[in-house]
Amino acid sequence: MHCQTEAAPRACVDVHALEAVALAATRSAAVASYDWVGRYDQKAADAAATKAMREALAQAPGRGTVVIGEGEKDDAPMLFNGEIVGTGNGPDFDIAVDPLEGTSFCAKDLPGSLATIAFGEPGTLWSPGPGFYMDKIVVPPQAKDVVDLDDPPERTLANVAAALGKKVSELRVMIMDKPRHKNLIARVLRAGAAVQTPAGGDVGGSLAVLLPTLDVDLLLGVGGTPEGVMTAAAVRALGGGMLGRLAPQRDEEADAIRAAGMSLDRVYECDELAAGDAFFVATGVTGGTLLDRPRKCEGKTTCESLLISRGEIRYLTHTTFE
Phi, psi of 167 (to 5 degrees): -85, 155
320 burial level (CB within 10 Å; 0-12, 13-18, 19+): middle
321: left (phi over 0), alpha (psi -120 to 50) or beta: beta
Look at residues 230, 273, 247, 197 and name the one whose alpha carbon lies nearest to residue 101: 230
70 annotated ligand binder:
yes
Measured CA distances, 110 to 34, 77, 103 (Å): 12, 21, 10
- Indicate the length of the chain as a whole number: 322
Q: What is the rounded distance in angstroms from the CA atom of residue 118 to the CA atom of residue 207?
A: 13
101 annotated ligand binder:
yes
Q: What is the rounded distance in angstroms from the CA atom of residue 166 to the CA atom of residue 177?
A: 25
Q: Is 41 helix (H, G, I), strand (E, B) or coil?
A: coil
Q: How many CB atoms are closer than 10 A to CB 184? A: 18
170 annotated ligand binder:
no
Angle between helical axes of 42-57 and 15-34 (0-180°, round to 10) = 150
98 annotated ligand binder:
yes
272 annotated ligand binder:
no
Q: What is the rounded distance in angstroms from the CA atom of residue 175 to the CA atom of residue 75?
A: 24
| CB-CB contact of 34 with 285 (8 Å) | yes
Distance of CA 304 to the CA centre of its chain: 17
- Binding site, annotated residues: 46, 70, 98, 101, 227
- Binding site, annotated residues for Mn(2+): 46, 70, 98, 101, 227
